[in-house]
Amino acid sequence: MTSKLDRLNEWVADVARLTRPAVIHWCDGSDAESAALREQMLADGTLIELNQQTHPGSYLHRSHPDDVARVEHLTFVCTPEREDAGPNNHWMAPADAHARIDALFDGCMQGRTMYVIPYCMGPIDSPLSRCGVEITDSPYVVANMRIMTRMGVPALARIEREGSFVKGLHSIGELDPERRLIMHFPEELAIKSYGSGYGGNALLGKKCHALRIASHQARQEGWLAEHMLILGIENPQGQTHYIAAAFPSACGKTNLAMLIPPEGYRRDGWKVWTIGDDICWMRPGADGRLYAINPEAGFFGVAPGTSAKSNANALASIQSNTIFTNVGITADQQPWWEGIDNGLAPVTDWRGEPFDSAKRPAAHPNSRFTVSAKQCPSYSDMAEDAQGVPISAIVFGGRRASLVPLVFEARDWTHGVLVGAAMGSETTAAATGAVGVMRRDPMAMKPFCGYNFADYFGHWLSFDQPGAQLPKVFHVNWFRKGENGKFLWPGFGDNLRVLEWMIQRVEGRAAATETPIGHLPTADDLNLDGVALSDEARETLFGFEHAGWQAEFAGIGEYLAEYGPRLPQALLDEQRRIAAALA
């Protein structure tokens, strides 16, 4: 009698023949398994115990100094036709890619344990969820996947029921940057990653599965897999609106997802609920609205800059049962990073050397924390809702020091897709390369879309069907700077003022001024009680710079032209319509 697990068992056997591990361990996700792995990692130095009085159940991991971020230049999408991967991805033919990376995998697990991790992305009983299996030789990956996914026995049971899963094969290899590759095979629903132990390259459920492979699945099956946070905003009347928002890495997704309302709003009874801080899967419901789940079960957040002021909820989340990666430590073994502002000082840096600020920061700029979402004070039980939450608004945003106002609303869905497609942001430390360079990052998916962006834009446009109740689309820019180079908008909790205006627009209750780029509020359209904005800030944050936008739309036209004849005509028409209005 054949079992639906036969395909999985055969694949595991094939991988074992290739990698030749000493032991094969099927992960069940139990507390006992987790404790045994932790003891093993403490014994061999993979983990360092932190102060168990101040941070119970928390540990530090130091990765190889050459292995601290995503490596986009070594990340490939392997489709039979180069055009299907698109100019937004590095491409390799599948046969060549398998041959090249399998040569690295050959015998790589000798003397090591091969861990088989069945996992589910999303609530275990949700029709929107999808399963995968990661094979790895890294116990650190097992520990992180246990936090970040629904891992173990229930996931294996769902795989047995459905018979389908994403195959992920990972080895840390020799951690040699010259022997490092991350390969995606969308048609095969497969991922192969070699030579890196860093989160985004090694936790294959995260960006590799939940975005690159899932975006391909979503296109085939009629849904969206997006690099977005999901938050709920509850008004004093007890009604909750859910918002999905896309920002490039290290542009404040986690801060917005865990936002604490300003004092006046808290007094009036406003609440913010966290559904997810990084990835959002959306599907049309029977009522025509888009419903979203967070496929992850935890947060893999950037540590530097996280403080009681910037994100009190994130700081509260990581006081226990947290894996810290590449942070500094204090004299009494507490985790420390730049911007924590807790009155303590680091003695050891992220490389394990005595801290010397002239040499390097205490924490790597892309150092991380991994923690269960359920530890967040603003966590919502709706994160486990099998049907997902209905999305009222989609927000795009990036880091723009000039030109882009605080907020504007797209005229309609097609305009909203153009707003997302044209999104630009200044680069951050989450990816290797220069920091502070403006690059187009459509829907914050440039490093993560598993197929040609031209087809992806077409897929977004396809949701505008008769009967669809699509969310309104907005663009925000928290990072506008004044003449003195300082930020003009206070940000953090005060961002709720902008979200409140969006909700009022969704409900048809707020005013806006029409411009060629969309609907802009004036300063009077927002509740700015208690916010001291200078005349320059008011003029700049709510202003519209005609000449600057003419140049911007010329640049957007040139950018879209890079996608050639596959680009949807509707998007080109929209760009030309706005460019003509600006002229």
Per residue, the 3-state secondary structure of 58-125, as one string, reads CEEECCCCCCCCECHHHEEECCCCHHHHCCCCEECCHHHHHHHHHHHHCCCCCCCEEEEEEEEECCCC
Last residue of one domain, picked from the residues 173, 201, 222:
222
Query: What is the pLDDT, as a whole number, of residue 437?
Result: 73
Mean pLDDT of 255-275: 97
409 and 507 together in one domain: yes
Mean pLDDT across the stretch 151-170? 97
> Do residues 38 and 131 share a domain?
yes
**Domain region containing 15:** 6-47+74-222
Residue at 241 is within a domain: yes
On the question of pLDDT at 1 being above 60, the answer is no
Banded pLDDT at 430 (limits 50, 70, 90): low
Contact 260, 493 (CB under 8 A): yes
CA distance 254 to 574: 32
Could you say which of 204, 222, 240 is where a domain stops? 222
Of 208-217, 430-439, 476-485, the poorest mean pLDDT is in 430-439
Answer whether 523's CB lies under 8 Å from 542's CB.
yes
The verdict on residue 563 lying in a domain is no
pLDDT band of residue 432 (cuts 50, 70, 90) is low
pLDDT at residue number 2:
67
- 153 plus 282 within the same structural domain: no
State the pLDDT at residue 425.
Answer: 85
Residue 436 has pLDDT above 90, yes or no: no
pLDDT at 3: 83
Whether 161 and 268 map to the same domain: the answer is no
Look at residue 529 and tell me if it is in a domain.
Answer: yes
3-state secondary structure of 243: strand
pLDDT in tens, 54-69: 999 999 999 999 999 8
Asked whether residue 131 falls in the same domain as residue 164, the answer is yes
- Do 422 and 524 lie in a common domain? yes
Write the pLDDT tens digit of every residue in 315-349.
999 999 999 999 999 999 999 999 999 999 999 99
Q: Which amino acid is at 235?
A: N
Any idea which of 97-101, 154-158, 269-273, 306-310 has the lowest mean pLDDT? 306-310
The tens digit of pLDDT for each residue in 70-94 reads 898 999 999 999 999 999 999 999 9
Q: Is the pLDDT at 429 greater than 80, yes or no?
A: no
> Which run of H or of E encompasses 546?
helix 546-561
User: Quick one: CA dihedral 117, 118, 123, 124, positive or negative?
Assistant: negative
CATH code (residue 177): 3.40.449.10
- Is 138 in contact with 27 (CB distance < 8 Å)? no
CATH of the domain at 435: 3.90.228.20
Q: Are 187 and 249 in a shared domain?
A: no
Number of domain units in the chain: 2
| Percent residues over pLDDT 70 in the chain | 98
Q: With 90 as the cut, is the pLDDT of residue 438 above it?
A: no
Q: What is the pLDDT of residue 53?
A: 98
Structure tokens at 578: 């706005």
Over residues 477-526, the pLDDT tens digits come to: 999 999 999 999 999 999 999 999 999 999 999 999 999 999 999 999 99
Residue (of 182, 283, 277) closest to 225 by Cα position: 283
Both 289 and 190 in one domain: the answer is no
User: Catalytic positions, please?
Assistant: 251
Within-domain flag for 52: no
Band of residue 554 on the pLDDT scale cut at 50, 70, 90: very high
Residue 550 lies in a domain: no
State the pLDDT at residue 431. Answer: 61
DSSP string, 486-527: SBSS--GGGHHHHHHHHHHHHTT----EEETTEEE--GGGS-
Domain membership flag for residue 321:
no
The yes-or-no verdict on residue 556 having pLDDT over 70 is yes
Identify which of 273, 205, 40, 65 has the alpha carbon closest to the alpha carbon of residue 139. Answer: 40
Amino acid, res. 55: H
Q: Which of 177, 205, 222 is the last residue of a domain?
A: 222
Domain co-membership, 432 together with 488:
yes
Looking at the fold, whether 449 and 504 belong to one and the same domain comes out as yes
247 and 393 in one domain? yes
What are the pLDDT digits (tens) for 570-581? 999 999 999 999
Asked whether residue 330 is domain-assigned, the answer is: no
Query: Which run of H or E residues covers position 371?
Result: strand 368-372
Q: Give the distance from CA 342 to its chain's centroid.
A: 27
Instruction: State yes or no: pLDDT of 268 exceeds 60.
Output: yes
Q: Is residue 430 part of a domain?
A: yes
Confidence of residue 435 (pLDDT cuts 50, 70, 90): low
Mean pLDDT of all residues belonging to the chain: 96
Amino acid occupying residue 379: Y
The answer on 473 and 457 residing in a single domain is yes
